[in-house]
Structure 1
Amino acid sequence: MTQPPGQRPPQEDPGNEPKGAAPAPPPAPPAPPSVPPAPATPSAPAAPPVSAAYGYPPQDPRQPGPYNAAPGPYGPQPGPYGQPQPNPYAQPNPYAQQQGPYGQQQYPYPGAPSQPWGAPGGPNGPGANGAGGGRNPFKGRPLLVIAAAAAAVLVLGGAGWLAFGTGGDAKPVAHATPAGSVTASPSGGVFEGDGKGDGDGDGRSKPSDDPNRGRKPGEAKVLWTQKPGKDVPEAHNTVYGPWFVGDTVVTALYKKVTGYSAATGKQVWSLTMPQAVCGAPSAPTADGKIVIAYQDSAAETAQCDQLREIDLKTGKGGWGKAVGKNGLFDIGLNFNMSISGGTVAVSRSSGTNAYRVSDGKPLFDKIAGDCPPYAVTGGPVMIAAENCPVAGVDSPAKQRIQRLDPVTGKAQWTFRPKTGYAVDKVYSTDPLVVSFKDDDKKTWSIASFNADGTERATMHGGSDKFAPHCGDGLGIDDGYLQNCGGVAVDANTLYMATAPADSGSPANAVVAFDLATGKQKWKAPAPSGRVVSPFQRRDGGGALVYEEATYEKPGMVASLAPGGGAFKPVQKHPDSAAYDENTGFFSPSYDYVNGRFFVTGYSVTTAGHQVPGSTYLTMMAFGD
């Protein structure tokens, strides 16, 4: 591909398919006009449920869904990145990679300049990103509508890559610097697998069957599955979490925050909020504290602005307060949250409010300059995505990223991408790897950075299409920066899932990029007919990969070494669990913790599923 002088090849954004998205349910009433019909062919453009250009971060659209049809050809490629000025005072502070929010969304992947854009129109620019879950815009809608929306974006068209590189307009500047009763009834039904089963049947489980039936030696067993309780409305309800504290796994659903035994799934504690939970970070503090948000009323016009601190070890609630307002137009309908060190950040288009997790003390609500942060990452490294003023609504996006001190909000360095590029996602904070998009020009770029904010390299995508699985899988951006489940990053390598090569074969591959050079190191093809996705960095380097279940074949956890090679099995699942593993979840996310593998749905409903009387699952755990 040809590139403008002095420009390095940029990478584009992956078009994603909803990981494990459940197939369309039986015939149902036509979906509302707001849900676009599924495209007739992979090449037909499909507009996302919420369409807007990247240049308008104030809006908080959820990301485009997986495998959406591509609209038009790519535009011209951006110029090279600007180089940040090293800060003699700021200290390189490498932190452990922060895993993205667990709900997995699927973003479009860009194609080569001569090929169509891999996603149906880019997001409106992060309206409020962070790490964790955002408020659910589909509140009150039947799941059939959601399934229709998912189907509409199942074919994320698009071709290969666009060259990477955003080309900074100006050189970035460095700155000086309670245990509850053990019962499952309040939170829904729990299946406790005994790992035995009678071995009868056709090898394909049904929702009511024992998922461990016919389990073979060497296979993990289904430890437990969790369904939503009867108190959960028949609507699209976001599942927040999971959060792992010791041997307890915690999720928040509707009005309840509940801790379960990771080994048995039995409820350990439960805390009920006054109204529905509407926001939460992706990870707690090091000592197991978290701050969640809930609505101020049950009205349709309710605002998501009430905070409550919770000790995830005991389930006891701590301080609570309303989020401070940042101006007349800060209506608090939607925001995201992240925890960095001992600070919880509440971000939305009007800016970010930061509080001390331990006691709720306000830390900062403004930063220097006229670019308010609308999204902030979690983990020890606080990276802020900021929206700067532009001439008008039709002007290209003008954004920057800064590393902030989580206590004072002071910037340690600043990086400005080329005008028109918006911050898309942060794949890792240590090392820092950021995805940028220019929706107007249909270009996508992924860059790695040094600890001082200087650009390290831009990735070279080649002819592949990619599926980083970001967000909710509905084609709506949930505003979070760290919610991609098809990506893993270690100290030297970015691992990303490709989209299936063609509609005739679902098989895909994992591609490894060298963070120092941006070049592809190797590609590991999935087994025939299977889809694989890296979801977590592996201790010591490399990536953990999930081989997705099909109707007839169960999933498997495998690993890839930093140098590539074959997939090495880590945990094989029983055949009889394939049905629930494949169809039981809406846009699931994956976690491998202490030898156990957890599948968590992005959202659930108590309305009908594929089988009358069944529902989408909240969580499923595998282990020995």
Structure 2
Amino acid sequence: MSQPPPPPPSQPPSGGYGAPQEPTQGQPPSYGYPQQPGQAPPPPQQPPQSPGTPPPAPGTPPPGGGPYGQQPPAGYGYPQGQPQPGYGYPQDQQQPGYGYPQTPGQAPTSPPYGGPQTPPPPGPYGQQGPGAFPYGNPAGPAGPAPGGGGKNNSKIIAIVAAVVAVVLVAGLGVFFLAKDDDDKKDESKGGGGTSSQGDPNAKPKNTSGRQIVDLKAPDVNDVTTVTGSWATDKVYAKSSVQEIIVQDLRTKKQSKISLKGNVCAASNGMTKDHKVAVVVQETISNSADCTRMVIVDLDKKAIAWDKTMPNSDTRSNENVAISGDTVASAWIGGSVGYKISTKKKLWEAKPSNCRDTGYQGGKSLVVVVECGRDLDNPEVSVQKLDPDTGKAKWKYEPPKGVKNVRVASTDPMVLVAGAGDELASDVFSIGEDKKLKAKISLGKRYNKPCELEVDGCYGMAVGPDAIYLSTAEHPGKSEYGDTNEIMAFDINTGDTKWKAAAGEKRTIIPFKMQGRNVLGYKPPSYDSGGQVVTIDPKHGKQTKLLQMPVSDIGKGEQSFSVDAYSVDTQIVFEHNRLFLDDKLISERRPSQEETPRLAVGFGAD
């Protein structure tokens, strides 16, 4: 629960850090190395055209922002006529991030973008991306704002000319081979780790997925929250308007669990016996308060219990989390915890100088606490709680100047912190000694992986030894779509370990661990279905787990716009089945021909 933190620790010294490496003699600069003065910038990428429209002639300016008519992340669009810095290269003189000492006068060098780094001398975590700066100082233009990745069903992404590409990326001894979807060969085989879903080293006998869930969105008169999406080996469940829909994955039969009002918040996880939690409005009125804690048993397709939470007279509740047999929820003005198996209230926090801003579940129950009357400059702490009492048994205090904290993982502890007005500027890994182990500065090089909620880091993954982030989209070899990579960082040092490329006309999102392997989702391109791959943690080699079929516009995967730079809801992958969903639905329809979807699912069985 909320507990005032002690005074912040003394600030350690900071110092400068080094310059980029020179390219090897006789070889061209690696991708991401700065261009020479006067060198012309690369031509802008052309977005796909309408069906039946030939590719634009050379030199024709693109009609819109990024690929598929979407705006690209900030950092593109430098003034024409000026040399552009190479992608991923620091934009200006930088300083090490707060909180890590550096040997005076020492200047570590940075390898070419994306390449594994050799162990650096003492310095700011061995990795300095753009945006590393003492908290409170600006770091240049901000990256793309969090959120905004919602559906764009009316976008036209068909094109006549399809490019089949074979990409060979070499990075200091680490080789990655990717083939286009039209090639029958999979990505490089990889291995390492096990999980409850089987050996992630092994390629499934059948990777060709078919659509197994297609839930159409109901008609509404206003923007309506429908957050909540879960899957077991037998069912898929999705929150809808004043109900939860549960579909049997074998028989396709659907059951509906009625609720007293709309869903305000939903747990990302579930208990071992497949119970989930939702916070629900007290009546069917859109103006009703979010007062009810509801536990739903997915196996029984029924409500296990429903209780009124104390002092929860607010519509601002967007957080509920499960850890073991405990469920906790926080809102402006209070928080509460219950034992799921007995319905017993374990704690209750009332308004005070400190407040619980949100919980994250999983192996441990963690809360982010803000103290002080100045909401613009709160004193922030992250606390591991005793799940039976709600009392803090472990506390970490981020550096002064951090205002926004999201919890990406509770064990190991990994936080996404925002300095100044940024929601996400750095990723911290924290040791059991409550000290900062490593810091990764996101800058413009990496996508912002989190939404507003404390438990809303849907665009990254954390393993026992590494943190996995996606790089910002950048031009590849194909003129019909940008690409990006998953980058693995050592959780103890922050050093880069390897990168796994999405492939041409592809992007990739790290979203979950499967045993010791990281799972990556590649959204569909204009001519191919999406993919789920498993990536081994040692070398970054990929094995395809599921290939989705090609979808028409507004159907299947194309019902949703899942972007690497903004993942606004969970990507659910259980028992080799993929589920995509929306957390908000609107009265507006993209077109007469398109019907909005609540969720879709794919499996090879």
Q: Same fold (TM over 0.5)?
A: yes
2:506 to 530, 539, 553: 530
Report % sequence identity: 24
Superposition TM-score, scaled by structure 2 size:
0.64
2:457 to 484, 487, 495: 484
1:397 to 378, 392, 398: 378
Higher relative contact order (CA 8 A, sep 6+): 1
| 1:298-447 pair list within 5 angstroms | 298-325=284-311, 331-366=314-349, 370-390=353-373, 392-394=374-376, 396-440=377-421, 444-447=425-428
Judged with a 3 Å threshold, the aligned counterparts in structure 2 of structure 1 residues 572 and 305 are, in CA distance, closer, same or farther, namely same
- Deviation for aligned residue 1:563: 1.8
- Deviation for aligned residue 1:322: 1.6
- Deviation for aligned residue 1:510: 0.7
Contact 1:241 1:282 in 2 (8 A): yes
Letter in 2 for 1:302: A
What corresponds to 1:293 in structure 2? Answer: 279
1:5 to 10, 13, 19: 13
State how far apart, in whole Å, the 2-side matches of 1:597 and 1:443 are. 27
Letter in 2 for 1:336: N
What corresponds to 1:465 in structure 2? Answer: 445
SS at match of 1:495: strand
What corresponds to 2:140 in structure 1? Answer: 116
Contact 2:412 2:464 in 1 (8 A): yes
Range with bigger deviation, 378-387 or 283-292: 283-292
What corresponds to 2:253 in structure 1? Answer: 266
- Deviation for aligned residue 1:315: 1.9
State how far apart, in whole Å, the 2-side matches of 1:611 and 1:488 are. 38
For residues 279-298 of structure 1, the C-alpha deviation after alignment (integer angstroms, 9 at most, x for no partner) is 22111222222332211233
What corresponds to 2:160 in structure 1? Answer: none
- Deviation for aligned residue 1:382: 0.9
- Deviation for aligned residue 1:419: 2.1
Letter in 1 for 2:520: V
Paired positions, count: 443
What corresponds to 2:517 in structure 1? Answer: 542
Contact 1:456 1:516 in 2 (8 A): yes
Contact 2:355 2:370 in 1 (8 A): yes
Letter in 1 for 2:256: S
For residues 227-266 of structure 1, the C-alpha deviation after alignment (integer angstroms, 9 at most, x for no partner) is 3354x42544433332234411212111111221234543
Contact 1:110 1:117 in 2 (8 A): no
Contact 1:604 1:618 in 2 (8 A): no
1:516 to 471, 492, 497: 492
- Is 1:252 matched up with 2:239? yes
Judged with a 3 Å threshold, the aligned counterparts in structure 2 of structure 1 residues 502 and 118 are, in CA distance, closer, same or farther, namely farther
SS at match of 1:564: coil
- Is 1:496 matched up with 2:469? yes
Contact 2:154 2:591 in 1 (8 A): no
State how far apart, in whole Å, the 2-side matches of 1:589 and 1:487 are. 11
- Deviation for aligned residue 1:39: 7.4
The alignment yields a C-alpha RMSD, in angstroms, of: 3.9
Contact 1:226 1:265 in 2 (8 A): no
What corresponds to 2:590 in structure 1? Answer: 609
- Deviation for aligned residue 1:218: 5.6
Contact 1:386 1:401 in 2 (8 A): yes
State how far apart, in whole Å, the 2-side matches of 1:110 and 1:467 are. 12
What corresponds to 2:169 in structure 1? Answer: none
- Is 1:226 matched up with 2:214? yes
State how far apart, in whole Å, the 2-side matches of 1:218 and 1:444 are. 40
Letter in 1 for 2:318: F
1:556 to 531, 538, 559: 531
SS at match of 2:227: strand
SS at match of 1:583: helix
For residues 383-405 of structure 1, the C-alpha deviation after alignment (integer angstroms, 9 at most, x for no partner) is 11000115x455x2320111110
Judged with a 3 Å threshold, the aligned counterparts in structure 2 of structure 1 residues 496 and 560 are, in CA distance, closer, same or farther, namely same
For residues 470-507 of structure 1, the C-alpha deviation after alignment (integer angstroms, 9 at most, x for no partner) is 34xxxxx3xx2222222111110111111112597520
2:264 to 271, 278, 287: 278
- Is 1:243 matched up with 2:243? no
State how far apart, in whole Å, the 1-side matches of 2:465 and 2:16 are. 20
Letter in 2 for 1:570: L
SS at match of 1:258: strand
Contact 1:291 1:357 in 2 (8 A): no
Superposition TM-score, scaled by structure 1 size:
0.63
Judged with a 3 Å threshold, the aligned counterparts in structure 2 of structure 1 residues 570 and 442 are, in CA distance, closer, same or farther, namely closer
Contact 1:7 1:79 in 2 (8 A): no
Letter in 2 for 1:261: D
- Deviation for aligned residue 1:4: 8.2
Letter in 2 for 1:80: G
Letter in 1 for 2:397: R
State how far apart, in whole Å, the 2-side matches of 1:595 and 1:494 are. 23
Contact 2:246 2:298 in 1 (8 A): yes
- Deviation for aligned residue 1:375: 0.8
State how far apart, in whole Å, the 2-side matches of 1:492 and 1:238 are. 36
State how far apart, in whole Å, the 1-side matches of 2:526 and 2:13 are. 50
The answer for unaligned runs of 5 or more in structure 1 is 10-22, 25-37, 46-71, 83-108, 124-136, 149-216, 472-476
Contact 2:215 2:600 in 1 (8 A): yes
Judged with a 3 Å threshold, the aligned counterparts in structure 2 of structure 1 residues 560 and 610 are, in CA distance, closer, same or farther, namely farther
What corresponds to 2:196 in structure 1? Answer: none
What corresponds to 2:546 in structure 1? Answer: 571
- Deviation for aligned residue 1:365: 1.4
The answer for unaligned runs of 5 or more in structure 2 is 1-10, 18-48, 51-69, 78-90, 102-128, 156-204, 563-568
Contact 2:425 2:441 in 1 (8 A): no
- Deviation for aligned residue 1:119: 3.7
State how far apart, in whole Å, the 2-side matches of 1:466 and 1:74 are. 18
State how far apart, in whole Å, the 2-side matches of 1:281 and 1:515 are. 26
State how far apart, in whole Å, the 2-side matches of 1:283 and 1:443 are. 23
State how far apart, in whole Å, the 1-side matches of 2:458 and 2:314 are. 30
Contact 1:551 1:582 in 2 (8 A): no
- Deviation for aligned residue 1:556: 1.1
SS at match of 1:619: strand
- Deviation for aligned residue 1:306: 1.7
- Deviation for aligned residue 1:41: 9.6
State how far apart, in whole Å, the 1-side matches of 2:423 and 2:282 are. 39
SS at match of 1:571: strand
Letter in 2 for 1:238: T
What corresponds to 2:4 in structure 1? Answer: none
Contact 2:267 2:277 in 1 (8 A): yes
Contact 1:507 1:530 in 2 (8 A): yes
Judged with a 3 Å threshold, the aligned counterparts in structure 2 of structure 1 residues 368 and 110 are, in CA distance, closer, same or farther, namely farther
- Deviation for aligned residue 1:300: 4.2
Contact 2:277 2:321 in 1 (8 A): no
Letter in 1 for 2:529: P
| 1:73-84 pair list within 5 angstroms | 79-80=98-99
State how far apart, in whole Å, the 1-side matches of 2:72 and 2:431 are. 45
What corresponds to 1:13 in structure 2? Answer: none
Contact 2:151 2:560 in 1 (8 A): no
